[in-house]
A and B are shown apart, each in its own frame.
Chain A
Protein backbone atom coordinates (compact mmCIF):
# COMPACT_ATOMS: atom_id res chain seq x y z
CA UNK A 1 0.00 0.00 0.00
CA UNK A 2 2.73 2.44 1.01
CA UNK A 3 4.59 1.90 -2.26
CA UNK A 4 1.47 2.41 -4.36
CA UNK A 5 0.75 5.63 -2.51
CA UNK A 6 4.30 6.87 -2.93
CA UNK A 7 4.23 6.08 -6.64
CA UNK A 8 1.01 8.02 -7.12
CA UNK A 9 2.50 10.91 -5.18
CA UNK A 10 5.62 10.93 -7.40
CA UNK A 11 3.51 10.80 -10.56
CA UNK A 12 1.12 13.55 -9.52
CA UNK A 13 3.94 15.80 -8.35
CA UNK A 14 5.83 15.10 -11.57
CA UNK A 15 3.00 15.91 -13.96
CA UNK A 16 2.12 19.04 -12.04
CA UNK A 17 -1.34 17.95 -10.90
CA UNK A 18 -0.37 18.79 -7.34
CA UNK A 19 2.29 20.91 -5.68
CA UNK A 20 2.34 19.30 -2.27
CA UNK A 21 1.38 16.02 -0.65
CA UNK A 22 -0.30 15.61 2.72
CA UNK A 23 0.46 12.29 4.34
CA UNK A 24 2.31 10.80 7.28
CA UNK A 25 5.95 10.73 8.12
CA UNK A 26 7.99 8.29 10.15
CA UNK A 27 8.14 8.54 13.89
CA UNK A 28 10.62 7.83 16.60
CA UNK A 29 9.15 4.39 17.16
CA UNK A 30 7.25 1.98 14.99
CA UNK A 31 3.88 3.39 15.90
CA UNK A 32 4.05 7.20 16.20
CA UNK A 33 3.59 8.52 12.69
CA UNK A 34 3.11 12.28 12.36
CA UNK A 35 1.01 14.02 9.70
CA UNK A 36 3.30 15.90 7.34
CA UNK A 37 3.35 17.92 4.15
CA UNK A 38 5.81 16.86 1.45
CA UNK A 39 6.90 19.43 -1.08
CA UNK A 40 8.76 17.32 -3.63
CA UNK A 41 9.47 13.77 -4.69
CA UNK A 42 12.65 13.59 -2.60
CA UNK A 43 10.78 14.45 0.56
CA UNK A 44 8.19 11.80 -0.25
CA UNK A 45 10.93 9.28 -0.96
CA UNK A 46 12.72 9.91 2.32
CA UNK A 47 9.89 10.63 4.68
CA UNK A 48 6.55 9.23 3.53
CA UNK A 49 5.23 6.35 5.59
CA UNK A 50 1.92 4.56 5.56
CA UNK A 51 0.98 1.65 7.76
CA UNK A 52 -1.70 0.53 10.21
CA UNK A 53 -0.59 3.10 12.77
CA UNK A 54 -1.29 6.09 10.51
CA UNK A 55 -4.56 6.80 12.26
CA UNK A 56 -4.81 10.59 12.04
CA UNK A 57 -7.68 12.03 10.01
CA UNK A 58 -5.96 14.47 7.66
CA UNK A 59 -9.03 16.35 6.46
CA UNK A 60 -8.89 19.15 9.02
CA UNK A 61 -5.40 20.19 7.95
CA UNK A 62 -6.91 21.06 4.57
CA UNK A 63 -8.67 24.12 6.02
CA UNK A 64 -5.23 25.68 6.31
CA UNK A 65 -3.43 23.79 3.57
CA UNK A 66 -5.87 24.53 0.76
CA UNK A 67 -5.14 28.21 1.31
CA UNK A 68 -1.37 27.81 1.48
CA UNK A 69 -0.91 28.18 -2.27
CA UNK A 70 -0.92 25.50 -4.92
CA UNK A 71 -2.86 22.29 -5.10
CA UNK A 72 -2.43 19.65 -2.45
CA UNK A 73 -2.76 15.90 -2.64
CA UNK A 74 -4.36 14.28 0.37
CA UNK A 75 -4.73 10.63 1.27
CA UNK A 76 -8.06 9.89 2.90
CA UNK A 77 -9.39 6.76 4.52
CA UNK A 78 -13.13 6.08 4.08
CA UNK A 79 -14.11 7.67 7.40
CA UNK A 80 -11.94 10.71 6.63
CA UNK A 81 -13.87 11.34 3.42
CA UNK A 82 -17.02 12.00 5.47
CA UNK A 83 -15.17 14.71 7.37
CA UNK A 84 -13.91 16.08 4.08
CA UNK A 85 -17.43 16.29 2.68
CA UNK A 86 -18.71 17.97 5.81
CA UNK A 87 -15.96 20.60 5.59
CA UNK A 88 -16.89 21.06 1.96
CA UNK A 89 -20.55 21.51 2.88
CA UNK A 90 -19.56 24.21 5.36
CA UNK A 91 -17.34 25.96 2.82
CA UNK A 92 -14.28 25.50 4.99
CA UNK A 93 -12.15 23.95 2.25
CA UNK A 94 -11.67 24.74 -1.40
CA UNK A 95 -12.39 21.66 -3.45
CA UNK A 96 -10.47 22.78 -6.52
CA UNK A 97 -7.25 23.20 -4.52
CA UNK A 98 -7.33 19.62 -3.30
CA UNK A 99 -6.71 16.31 -5.02
CA UNK A 100 -8.20 13.47 -2.99
CA UNK A 101 -6.75 10.01 -3.19
CA UNK A 102 -8.96 7.57 -1.36
CA UNK A 103 -7.18 4.66 0.28
CA UNK A 104 -8.69 1.35 1.18
CA UNK A 105 -8.75 0.78 4.92
CA UNK A 106 -8.77 -2.45 6.88
CA UNK A 107 -8.90 -0.82 10.29
CA UNK A 108 -6.22 0.91 12.27
CA UNK A 109 -4.17 -0.51 15.10
CA UNK A 110 -4.16 1.03 18.56
CA UNK A 111 -0.74 0.87 20.17
CA UNK A 112 -2.34 1.32 23.60
CA UNK A 113 -4.00 -2.04 23.13
CA UNK A 114 -0.67 -3.60 22.30
CA UNK A 115 0.79 -2.16 25.48
CA UNK A 116 -2.23 -3.30 27.46
CA UNK A 117 -1.40 -6.87 26.43
CA UNK A 118 1.69 -6.47 28.57
CA UNK A 119 4.02 -5.94 25.64
CA UNK A 120 6.74 -3.55 26.77
CA UNK A 121 9.95 -2.08 25.43
CA UNK A 122 8.77 -2.03 21.81
CA UNK A 123 11.58 -1.52 19.31
CA UNK A 124 9.78 -2.32 16.09
CA UNK A 125 6.54 -3.55 14.56
CA UNK A 126 6.24 -5.25 11.18
CA UNK A 127 3.14 -6.52 9.44
CA UNK A 128 3.26 -9.58 7.24
CA UNK A 129 0.64 -12.09 6.14
CA UNK A 130 -1.98 -10.69 8.47
CA UNK A 131 0.20 -10.89 11.59
CA UNK A 132 2.03 -8.12 13.44
CA UNK A 133 5.44 -9.05 14.69
CA UNK A 134 6.25 -6.79 17.60
CA UNK A 135 9.94 -6.69 18.42
CA UNK A 136 10.74 -5.78 21.99
CA UNK A 137 13.90 -5.74 24.05
CA UNK A 138 12.54 -8.85 25.69
CA UNK A 139 12.03 -10.72 22.43
CA UNK A 140 9.51 -10.87 19.56
CA UNK A 141 5.77 -11.32 19.92
CA UNK A 142 3.27 -12.19 17.22
CA UNK A 143 -0.21 -10.66 17.51
CA UNK A 144 -3.32 -10.63 15.39
CA UNK A 145 -4.35 -7.23 14.06
CA UNK A 146 -7.95 -7.92 15.07
CA UNK A 147 -6.88 -8.12 18.73
CA UNK A 148 -5.39 -4.65 18.76
CA UNK A 149 -7.71 -2.86 16.37
CA UNK A 150 -8.76 0.62 17.46
CA UNK A 151 -12.12 0.77 19.18
CA UNK A 152 -13.61 3.06 16.53
CA UNK A 153 -12.56 0.66 13.77
CA UNK A 154 -14.31 -2.24 15.46
CA UNK A 155 -17.52 -0.24 15.01
CA UNK A 156 -16.62 1.06 11.54
CA UNK A 157 -19.67 2.64 9.92
CA UNK A 158 -18.44 2.70 6.34
CA UNK A 159 -15.69 1.35 4.18
CA UNK A 160 -16.98 3.42 1.31
CA UNK A 161 -15.29 6.65 0.21
CA UNK A 162 -17.95 9.30 -0.25
CA UNK A 163 -15.59 11.53 -2.20
CA UNK A 164 -12.35 11.02 -4.12
CA UNK A 165 -10.53 11.90 -7.30
CA UNK A 166 -8.92 8.52 -7.51
CA UNK A 167 -8.82 5.41 -5.43
CA UNK A 168 -6.03 3.10 -4.33
CA UNK A 169 -7.27 -0.37 -3.48
CA UNK A 170 -10.88 -1.53 -3.58
CA UNK A 171 -14.00 0.43 -2.78
CA UNK A 172 -15.95 -0.88 0.18
CA UNK A 173 -19.53 -0.66 1.32
CA UNK A 174 -21.38 1.20 4.02
CA UNK A 175 -21.48 -1.14 7.01
CA UNK A 176 -25.17 -1.51 7.80
CA UNK A 177 -24.90 -3.49 11.03
CA UNK A 178 -22.00 -1.68 12.63
CA UNK A 179 -23.39 -1.72 16.18
CA UNK A 180 -21.87 1.65 16.94
CA UNK A 181 -24.83 2.69 19.08
CA UNK A 182 -24.69 -0.34 21.36
CA UNK A 183 -22.94 1.44 24.19
CA UNK A 184 -25.22 4.48 23.88
CA UNK A 185 -28.23 2.19 24.14
CA UNK A 186 -26.69 0.49 27.14
CA UNK A 187 -26.26 3.83 28.87
CA UNK A 188 -29.80 4.89 27.98
CA UNK A 189 -31.09 1.74 29.63
CA UNK A 190 -29.41 2.63 32.92
CA UNK A 191 -31.06 4.66 35.65
CA UNK A 192 -30.23 8.39 35.76
CA UNK A 193 -28.15 7.78 38.89
CA UNK A 194 -26.08 5.13 37.15
CA UNK A 195 -25.62 7.34 34.14
CA UNK A 196 -24.59 10.22 36.34
CA UNK A 197 -22.02 8.03 38.08
CA UNK A 198 -20.73 6.75 34.77
CA UNK A 199 -20.19 10.20 33.32
CA UNK A 200 -18.73 11.67 36.47
CA UNK A 201 -16.24 8.82 36.47
CA UNK A 202 -15.28 9.61 32.89
CA UNK A 203 -15.44 13.39 32.72
CA UNK A 204 -13.73 13.94 36.05
CA UNK A 205 -10.50 12.78 34.42
CA UNK A 206 -10.64 15.63 31.89
CA UNK A 207 -7.61 17.92 32.05
CA UNK A 208 -9.04 20.48 29.61
CA UNK A 209 -6.11 20.08 27.23
CA UNK A 210 -8.47 20.73 24.31
CA UNK A 211 -6.99 17.90 22.25
CA UNK A 212 -10.51 16.64 21.46
CA UNK A 213 -11.54 20.04 20.18
CA UNK A 214 -8.38 20.78 18.26
CA UNK A 215 -8.26 17.45 16.44
CA UNK A 216 -11.98 17.55 15.59
CA UNK A 217 -12.60 18.16 11.88
CA UNK A 218 -15.96 19.71 12.76
CA UNK A 219 -14.39 22.19 15.21
CA UNK A 220 -13.08 24.74 12.76
CA UNK A 221 -14.28 28.00 14.29
CA UNK A 222 -11.79 30.80 13.85
CA UNK A 223 -12.10 31.43 17.55
CA UNK A 224 -13.68 28.89 19.83
CA UNK A 225 -16.13 30.25 22.39
CA UNK A 226 -14.00 28.64 25.09
CA UNK A 227 -11.01 30.71 23.92
CA UNK A 228 -12.90 33.96 23.76
CA UNK A 229 -12.28 36.00 26.91
CA UNK A 230 -15.44 37.99 26.24
CA UNK A 231 -17.69 34.94 26.19
CA UNK A 232 -17.86 34.50 29.94
CA UNK A 233 -17.17 30.78 29.57
CA UNK A 234 -13.51 30.96 28.70
CA UNK A 235 -12.02 29.55 31.86
CA UNK A 236 -9.05 27.64 30.48
CA UNK A 237 -7.97 24.93 32.84
CA UNK A 238 -10.50 25.76 35.54
CA UNK A 239 -11.47 22.25 36.32
CA UNK A 240 -14.46 21.50 38.45
CA UNK A 241 -17.38 19.23 37.81
CA UNK A 242 -19.50 21.97 36.30
CA UNK A 243 -16.80 23.16 33.89
CA UNK A 244 -16.15 19.59 32.79
CA UNK A 245 -19.83 18.99 32.10
CA UNK A 246 -20.33 22.32 30.40
CA UNK A 247 -17.30 22.03 28.14
CA UNK A 248 -18.19 18.58 26.93
CA UNK A 249 -21.93 19.19 26.55
CA UNK A 250 -21.38 22.38 24.60
CA UNK A 251 -18.58 20.94 22.50
CA UNK A 252 -20.72 17.96 21.57
CA UNK A 253 -23.71 20.23 20.94
CA UNK A 254 -21.73 22.51 18.64
CA UNK A 255 -20.91 19.54 16.44
CA UNK A 256 -24.36 17.91 16.71
CA UNK A 257 -25.63 17.12 13.25
CA UNK A 258 -22.18 17.90 11.87
CA UNK A 259 -20.11 15.25 13.60
CA UNK A 260 -19.35 12.43 11.16
CA UNK A 261 -18.33 10.07 13.98
CA UNK A 262 -14.74 9.80 12.85
CA UNK A 263 -13.70 9.00 16.39
CA UNK A 264 -10.66 11.27 16.54
CA UNK A 265 -11.75 12.87 19.84
CA UNK A 266 -11.63 9.58 21.70
CA UNK A 267 -8.45 8.51 19.96
CA UNK A 268 -6.47 11.54 21.08
CA UNK A 269 -7.85 11.96 24.60
CA UNK A 270 -4.85 11.60 26.92
CA UNK A 271 -7.20 10.44 29.65
CA UNK A 272 -9.06 7.89 27.48
CA UNK A 273 -12.45 9.51 27.99
CA UNK A 274 -14.97 7.90 25.58
CA UNK A 275 -16.00 11.24 24.07
CA UNK A 276 -17.49 9.56 21.02
CA UNK A 277 -20.32 8.38 23.26
CA UNK A 278 -21.49 11.98 23.59
CA UNK A 279 -21.38 12.56 19.86
CA UNK A 280 -23.05 9.25 19.12
CA UNK A 281 -25.88 10.14 21.49
CA UNK A 282 -26.64 13.19 19.37
CA UNK A 283 -26.32 11.18 16.16
CA UNK A 284 -28.63 8.51 17.53
CA UNK A 285 -31.15 11.12 18.69
CA UNK A 286 -31.10 12.88 15.34
CA UNK A 287 -31.70 9.55 13.61
CA UNK A 288 -34.56 8.70 15.96
CA UNK A 289 -36.27 12.07 16.03
CA UNK A 290 -35.64 13.48 12.58
CA UNK A 291 -34.87 10.49 10.39
CA UNK A 292 -31.58 8.84 9.49
CA UNK A 293 -28.86 11.32 8.78
CA UNK A 294 -25.16 10.75 8.26
CA UNK A 295 -23.15 13.94 8.31
CA UNK A 296 -20.72 14.14 5.43
CA UNK A 297 -22.49 11.57 3.31
CA UNK A 298 -23.94 14.19 1.00
CA UNK A 299 -22.37 17.66 1.01
CA UNK A 300 -25.57 19.20 -0.32
CA UNK A 301 -27.85 17.82 2.41
CA UNK A 302 -29.34 20.27 4.90
CA UNK A 303 -28.06 19.75 8.43
CA UNK A 304 -30.68 18.49 10.89
CA UNK A 305 -30.36 21.51 13.16
CA UNK A 306 -30.62 23.86 10.20
CA UNK A 307 -34.11 22.71 9.24
CA UNK A 308 -37.36 21.66 10.89
CA UNK A 309 -40.66 19.90 10.39
CA UNK A 310 -43.90 21.34 11.68
CA UNK A 311 -44.72 18.13 13.51
CA UNK A 312 -41.31 17.63 15.15
CA UNK A 313 -41.22 15.87 18.47
CA UNK A 314 -41.64 18.12 21.53
CA UNK A 315 -38.68 18.38 23.95
CA UNK A 316 -40.82 16.97 26.74
CA UNK A 317 -41.56 13.83 24.76
CA UNK A 318 -37.96 12.92 24.03
CA UNK A 319 -36.27 10.37 26.24
CA UNK A 320 -36.08 10.10 29.97
CA UNK A 321 -38.93 10.77 32.38
CA UNK A 322 -41.96 12.42 30.85
CA UNK A 323 -43.95 15.16 32.37
Chain B
Protein backbone atom coordinates (compact mmCIF):
# COMPACT_ATOMS: atom_id res chain seq x y z
CA UNK B 1 0.00 0.00 0.00
CA UNK B 2 2.48 2.65 -1.00
CA UNK B 3 1.29 5.98 -2.27
CA UNK B 4 -0.98 8.74 -1.17
CA UNK B 5 -4.72 8.50 -1.26
CA UNK B 6 -6.97 11.46 -0.68
CA UNK B 7 -10.51 10.37 0.12
CA UNK B 8 -13.55 12.64 -0.08
CA UNK B 9 -11.71 15.54 1.39
CA UNK B 10 -13.83 18.56 2.31
CA UNK B 11 -12.83 21.77 3.95
CA UNK B 12 -15.27 24.35 5.17
CA UNK B 13 -14.24 27.58 6.86
CA UNK B 14 -16.78 29.29 9.09
CA UNK B 15 -16.51 33.05 8.82
CA UNK B 16 -17.05 35.28 11.86
CA UNK B 17 -20.12 36.85 10.22
CA UNK B 18 -21.90 33.49 10.09
CA UNK B 19 -21.09 32.85 6.43
CA UNK B 20 -18.91 30.01 5.34
CA UNK B 21 -16.50 29.22 2.55
CA UNK B 22 -16.41 25.77 1.03
CA UNK B 23 -12.71 25.69 0.18
CA UNK B 24 -12.77 22.01 -0.85
CA UNK B 25 -15.60 19.66 -1.56
CA UNK B 26 -15.29 15.90 -1.97
CA UNK B 27 -11.83 15.88 -3.40
CA UNK B 28 -10.57 12.37 -4.04
CA UNK B 29 -7.29 11.48 -5.60
CA UNK B 30 -4.92 8.51 -5.64
CA UNK B 31 -1.27 9.11 -6.13
CA UNK B 32 1.08 6.18 -6.65
CA UNK B 33 4.57 6.36 -5.21
CA UNK B 34 6.85 8.20 -7.61
CA UNK B 35 4.17 10.13 -9.44
CA UNK B 36 4.50 13.82 -10.16
CA UNK B 37 1.21 15.65 -9.96
CA UNK B 38 0.82 19.28 -10.88
CA UNK B 39 -2.18 21.24 -9.66
CA UNK B 40 -3.57 24.22 -11.57
CA UNK B 41 -6.56 26.42 -10.99
CA UNK B 42 -7.73 29.98 -10.68
CA UNK B 43 -7.12 31.76 -7.42
CA UNK B 44 -9.53 30.69 -4.70
CA UNK B 45 -9.96 27.14 -5.98
CA UNK B 46 -8.51 25.65 -2.81
CA UNK B 47 -5.23 24.33 -4.16
CA UNK B 48 -3.15 25.81 -1.35
CA UNK B 49 -5.70 24.53 1.18
CA UNK B 50 -5.34 21.08 -0.36
CA UNK B 51 -1.57 21.27 -0.03
CA UNK B 52 -1.78 22.47 3.56
CA UNK B 53 -4.04 19.55 4.41
CA UNK B 54 -1.67 17.07 2.78
CA UNK B 55 1.23 18.66 4.65
CA UNK B 56 -0.74 18.26 7.86
CA UNK B 57 -0.97 21.94 8.75
CA UNK B 58 -4.77 21.87 8.49
CA UNK B 59 -7.24 19.20 9.53
CA UNK B 60 -9.99 18.65 6.93
CA UNK B 61 -13.62 19.01 8.07
CA UNK B 62 -14.43 15.74 6.30
CA UNK B 63 -12.65 12.93 4.53
CA UNK B 64 -9.21 11.55 5.16
CA UNK B 65 -5.73 11.24 3.89
CA UNK B 66 -3.83 7.96 3.82
CA UNK B 67 -0.10 7.86 3.17
CA UNK B 68 1.57 4.45 2.86
CA UNK B 69 -1.24 2.83 4.80
CA UNK B 70 -1.51 5.23 7.75
CA UNK B 71 -3.66 8.22 8.33
CA UNK B 72 -2.14 11.69 8.12
CA UNK B 73 -2.89 13.75 11.24
CA UNK B 74 -0.19 16.39 11.36
CA UNK B 75 3.05 17.60 9.84
CA UNK B 76 5.78 15.03 9.60
CA UNK B 77 9.20 14.59 8.05
CA UNK B 78 7.73 12.01 5.63
CA UNK B 79 6.08 14.91 3.78
CA UNK B 80 8.61 17.59 2.87
CA UNK B 81 7.61 21.04 1.75
CA UNK B 82 9.16 23.57 -0.61
CA UNK B 83 7.71 27.08 -0.30
CA UNK B 84 7.70 29.93 -2.75
CA UNK B 85 10.29 31.98 -0.89
CA UNK B 86 11.38 33.18 2.49
CA UNK B 87 11.15 29.84 4.22
CA UNK B 88 14.89 29.36 4.53
CA UNK B 89 16.46 30.06 7.90
CA UNK B 90 18.54 33.18 7.30
CA UNK B 91 20.45 32.69 10.56
CA UNK B 92 21.97 29.50 9.19
CA UNK B 93 24.51 28.94 6.44
CA UNK B 94 23.58 27.04 3.29
CA UNK B 95 25.10 23.89 4.79
CA UNK B 96 23.17 24.24 8.04
CA UNK B 97 19.92 24.89 6.20
CA UNK B 98 20.32 21.74 4.11
CA UNK B 99 21.35 19.75 7.18
CA UNK B 100 18.40 20.99 9.27
CA UNK B 101 16.23 17.89 8.90
CA UNK B 102 18.97 15.38 9.72
CA UNK B 103 20.05 17.57 12.66
CA UNK B 104 16.56 17.51 14.11
CA UNK B 105 16.51 13.74 13.88
CA UNK B 106 19.90 13.52 15.55
CA UNK B 107 21.62 11.93 12.56
CA UNK B 108 25.34 11.38 13.30
CA UNK B 109 27.44 14.26 12.02
CA UNK B 110 29.35 12.19 9.48
CA UNK B 111 26.19 10.85 7.82
CA UNK B 112 24.66 14.29 7.84
CA UNK B 113 27.71 15.91 6.26
CA UNK B 114 27.73 13.22 3.58
CA UNK B 115 24.07 13.80 2.75
CA UNK B 116 24.53 17.58 2.69
CA UNK B 117 27.62 17.38 0.49
CA UNK B 118 25.92 15.04 -1.93
CA UNK B 119 22.80 17.20 -2.22
CA UNK B 120 24.76 20.41 -2.63
CA UNK B 121 26.57 18.69 -5.50
CA UNK B 122 23.26 17.68 -7.04
CA UNK B 123 21.83 21.21 -6.92
CA UNK B 124 25.19 22.73 -7.90
CA UNK B 125 25.87 24.79 -4.78
CA UNK B 126 29.00 23.08 -3.45
CA UNK B 127 30.93 26.37 -3.70
CA UNK B 128 28.34 28.25 -1.64
CA UNK B 129 28.27 25.82 1.26
CA UNK B 130 29.39 28.26 3.94
CA UNK B 131 27.58 31.31 2.58
CA UNK B 132 24.67 32.88 4.39
CA UNK B 133 21.45 32.17 2.50
CA UNK B 134 20.64 35.87 2.12
CA UNK B 135 23.81 36.27 0.08
CA UNK B 136 22.43 33.97 -2.62
CA UNK B 137 20.22 34.86 -5.57
CA UNK B 138 16.55 33.86 -5.61
CA UNK B 139 17.21 30.84 -7.84
CA UNK B 140 20.03 29.62 -5.64
CA UNK B 141 17.85 30.03 -2.56
CA UNK B 142 15.24 27.76 -4.12
CA UNK B 143 17.96 25.20 -4.87
CA UNK B 144 18.82 25.30 -1.18
CA UNK B 145 15.15 24.82 -0.34
CA UNK B 146 14.97 21.77 -2.64
CA UNK B 147 18.15 20.31 -1.18
CA UNK B 148 16.92 20.94 2.37
CA UNK B 149 13.73 19.09 1.61
CA UNK B 150 15.55 16.16 -0.02
CA UNK B 151 18.05 15.87 2.83
CA UNK B 152 15.24 14.54 4.97
CA UNK B 153 14.45 11.82 2.41
CA UNK B 154 10.66 12.39 2.56
CA UNK B 155 8.18 10.08 0.81
CA UNK B 156 6.21 12.97 -0.63
CA UNK B 157 7.45 16.41 -1.62
CA UNK B 158 4.90 19.21 -1.61
CA UNK B 159 5.77 22.27 -3.64
CA UNK B 160 3.78 25.47 -3.22
CA UNK B 161 4.65 27.56 -6.28
CA UNK B 162 8.35 27.03 -5.62
CA UNK B 163 9.44 28.78 -8.81
CA UNK B 164 6.80 31.51 -8.81
CA UNK B 165 9.09 34.33 -7.81
CA UNK B 166 11.93 33.53 -10.21
CA UNK B 167 12.74 35.20 -13.50
CA UNK B 168 11.94 33.31 -16.70
CA UNK B 169 15.43 32.00 -17.43
CA UNK B 170 16.15 30.85 -13.90
CA UNK B 171 12.73 29.31 -13.80
CA UNK B 172 13.43 27.19 -16.86
CA UNK B 173 16.68 25.91 -15.39
CA UNK B 174 14.92 25.11 -12.13
CA UNK B 175 12.20 23.22 -13.98
CA UNK B 176 14.84 20.96 -15.50
CA UNK B 177 16.36 20.51 -12.06
CA UNK B 178 13.02 19.50 -10.58
CA UNK B 179 12.53 16.90 -13.32
CA UNK B 180 16.06 15.60 -12.83
CA UNK B 181 15.59 15.28 -9.08
CA UNK B 182 12.24 13.62 -9.56
CA UNK B 183 13.71 10.98 -11.84
CA UNK B 184 16.81 10.41 -9.71
CA UNK B 185 15.07 10.20 -6.37
CA UNK B 186 11.77 8.66 -7.45
CA UNK B 187 9.85 10.85 -4.99
CA UNK B 188 6.13 11.45 -5.13
CA UNK B 189 5.72 15.15 -5.86
CA UNK B 190 2.71 17.44 -5.69
CA UNK B 191 3.43 20.75 -7.38
CA UNK B 192 1.13 23.73 -7.18
CA UNK B 193 1.70 26.34 -9.84
CA UNK B 194 0.07 29.27 -11.55
CA UNK B 195 1.87 28.67 -14.81
CA UNK B 196 0.04 26.42 -17.25
CA UNK B 197 3.27 25.78 -19.11
CA UNK B 198 5.05 24.70 -15.95
CA UNK B 199 2.18 22.42 -14.99
CA UNK B 200 2.32 20.77 -18.44
CA UNK B 201 6.10 20.42 -18.48
CA UNK B 202 6.47 19.01 -15.00
CA UNK B 203 3.21 17.20 -14.39
CA UNK B 204 3.10 13.56 -15.24
CA UNK B 205 -0.43 13.96 -14.04
CA UNK B 206 -2.20 17.28 -14.00
CA UNK B 207 -5.39 18.28 -12.27
CA UNK B 208 -7.25 21.48 -12.92
CA UNK B 209 -9.30 22.62 -9.96
CA UNK B 210 -12.43 24.78 -10.04
CA UNK B 211 -13.54 27.21 -7.35
CA UNK B 212 -16.75 27.60 -5.30
CA UNK B 213 -16.66 25.00 -4.01
CA UNK B 214 -13.08 23.94 -4.58
CA UNK B 215 -13.09 20.67 -6.51
CA UNK B 216 -11.22 18.71 -9.16
CA UNK B 217 -12.51 19.86 -12.51
CA UNK B 218 -10.44 17.82 -14.91
CA UNK B 219 -7.53 15.45 -14.82
CA UNK B 220 -4.88 14.76 -17.46
CA UNK B 221 -2.08 12.27 -17.93
CA UNK B 222 0.74 13.86 -19.87
CA UNK B 223 3.87 12.58 -21.62
CA UNK B 224 5.90 15.80 -21.38
CA UNK B 225 7.53 15.24 -17.98
CA UNK B 226 9.05 11.96 -19.16
CA UNK B 227 10.27 13.60 -22.35
CA UNK B 228 11.72 16.51 -20.41
CA UNK B 229 13.89 14.31 -18.22
CA UNK B 230 16.32 13.77 -21.07
CA UNK B 231 15.52 16.57 -23.50
CA UNK B 232 15.76 20.32 -23.48
CA UNK B 233 12.50 21.76 -22.16
CA UNK B 234 12.30 24.11 -25.13
CA UNK B 235 12.28 21.04 -27.40
CA UNK B 236 9.49 19.53 -25.33
CA UNK B 237 7.41 22.64 -25.86
CA UNK B 238 7.64 22.05 -29.62
CA UNK B 239 5.87 18.69 -29.22
CA UNK B 240 2.74 18.71 -31.41
CA UNK B 241 0.44 18.04 -28.44
CA UNK B 242 1.93 20.71 -26.22
CA UNK B 243 0.41 23.80 -27.83
CA UNK B 244 -3.15 22.48 -28.10
CA UNK B 245 -3.12 21.19 -24.52
CA UNK B 246 -1.87 24.53 -23.29
CA UNK B 247 -4.64 26.35 -25.17
CA UNK B 248 -7.27 23.98 -23.87
CA UNK B 249 -6.27 24.42 -20.22
CA UNK B 250 -5.77 28.16 -20.56
CA UNK B 251 -9.28 28.50 -21.97
CA UNK B 252 -10.66 26.36 -19.20
CA UNK B 253 -9.09 28.51 -16.48
CA UNK B 254 -9.97 31.67 -18.36
CA UNK B 255 -13.65 30.65 -18.39
CA UNK B 256 -13.58 29.97 -14.67
CA UNK B 257 -12.05 33.36 -13.97
CA UNK B 258 -14.70 35.00 -16.13
CA UNK B 259 -17.36 33.20 -14.17
CA UNK B 260 -15.89 34.41 -10.88
CA UNK B 261 -15.75 37.97 -12.12
CA UNK B 262 -19.28 37.72 -13.48
CA UNK B 263 -20.50 36.29 -10.20
CA UNK B 264 -18.94 39.18 -8.35
CA UNK B 265 -20.71 41.67 -10.55
CA UNK B 266 -24.01 39.94 -9.88
CA UNK B 267 -23.37 40.07 -6.18
CA UNK B 268 -22.65 43.77 -6.44
Real binding pair: no
**Which residues does B use to contact A, with CB under 8 Å?**
none
**Which residues does A use to contact B, with CB under 8 Å?**
none
